[in-house]
Structure 1
Amino acid sequence: MKELLGTGVALVTPFNEDHSVDFEGLARLVNYQIDNGVNYLVVLGTTGEPATLTAKEKALVKETIIKENKGRLPLVLGIGGNNTMAVVEEIKTTDLTEFAAILSVSPYYNKPTQEGVYQHFKVISEASSKPIIIYNVPGRTGKNMEPSTVLRLANDFKNIVAVKEAAGDMVQAMRIIQHKPDDFMVISGDDMIALPMVLAGGAGVISVIGQGLPKDFSEMIQLGLQKNVDEAYKLHYKIMDSVDYIFEECNPSGIKALLQKQKICNSNVRLPLVKATEKLEQKIAKFIDNY
């Protein structure tokens, strides 16, 4: 899956003041990524607030991104959940023609055993006509997907092509990289350790900050893939504080505050999320002014 090498960004869903979807802002966001060297776009990942979008809104978000992208970058679609059969149903009833792959999160809230996680992805693999990126994010799901489970899935199912590894655990990432099949990709889901993961043998990142600082972030990952360590770390340290800021009060409130500062879209989110506080907005604004 060469098209999943490098920097993917998990796009936000911009909202107007009345909390309707801001499709003009979304179009601006897509073009901003394409113009600044991002490698692929992730549609309706967690950062896109799909949990609070209606089915009709999700369809319009997909349509807008496809239309604006005009086939320029590969697209990955988030289809995941904690009801296995509902995920299967969504995969089977969604037109996936325009998408290179599916990103599917490990089941949240139910807290299945490792065998349960394996069986969940087995059923999804068998239902999908597209390659699958499995997504481990224990901070959101309440359950870590162990390296042994990831490797078992990687070895057993040809269309499970990658893991988005967001446990924030460098050792865990290295254990997967150490034992993975040659063509299986380990993609960082943590902006702060994206570069170290790439240097350890990872394939890139699915980033949040990447959509706010796409040029430098994408370049950092490319330098990492080329093992140009010193130059890559210069960019890492230039960007680093912004990663702390955007996750300080929950995602995507922080990144939306940063995108508002850059006049790409405003910072509205939907409940139960709330906008970044004024204090955080000021920190982010100061960072961008000095950047």
Structure 2
Amino acid sequence: FARSDQLRYTEEVSTQEREKELRAVYELAARFTRTDGDLETLLQETSEILRLAMKFPERSGVEIRTLRRRVTAGPEAMQDGAASLVLDECEVIRHYSDQQPLQIRVWYLGLASEGGDGGEDGGDYSIEEWEQRLVESCGSLLADVLQRREMDEILRETTKLLQTQAAELEGKNHALREVLSQIESEKKAVQERAVSYIETYVRPELEHLKMSDRLGTIDRQRIDAVIAGLDEVFSDDAAFVIELGRVLTCRELEVAQLIRRGLSSKEIAQQLNLSESTVDRHRNTIRKKLHLNHQGISLMSYLRSGDM
């Protein structure tokens, strides 16, 4: 009967210890899922939860260390100045974030006279297997939390840096837009002054010169070409004509401009005082330089399209 009672008592104690272990793990997991509080508070609360979960919390002490922090819970020495010693202890080391160490140390503190065989109250102050298992579980969970917190901190710092860079870039873009706007305004003002000058002084003089009795038909056609060119100075076609000038000779460019205006080879020959065969030779040269080897492509249409 006595043996049966002993077995029942042992099973009850084992069940109680298991329940205490699971309850502590649950409390730790619940605490670790919270994001409030700083790291110092987290470590302090963790050490207190772990201490209270031990079989003899009044005699247990807990120390948690990282590279930058150290927190403790429970007694580190007996009160009243009595001689004390560590009756038993366990230590767990985990790593997180590039092998940064996390150390958790748990101990039972007793009087020097108690040794390791139990105290005056009959307690066996040795760390049991379930307590060791609890400390190891706590170490693994806490290492994961520290890893996550460090990654969150890196993410916050990176986000802050990106926001700062984005603000600086936006400031530079704003300044650039202001500069471009100013350039565009000045460009527009220059164009307006140039157009005004041409319309006020240049065009009337050309029109008056064209009416002179001293000019022949070819001279008048040349004046018309100049007037047409003035009309294109600030048009989109101006850029196309400039590109043509980089590919063609002066005479070829002259012929190309007349072709754009719709003149035939005969009319061009008369205006430039050339033979038709010379004009046709210039036509062929222009086509080759512009890579218009296909006979189905009209040179005049291409030149009028303004697309090189």
Q: TM-score, normalised by structure 2?
A: 0.18
Structure possessing the higher relative contact order (Cα contacts under 8 Å, 6 or more residues apart): 1
Q: TM-score, normalised by structure 1?
A: 0.19
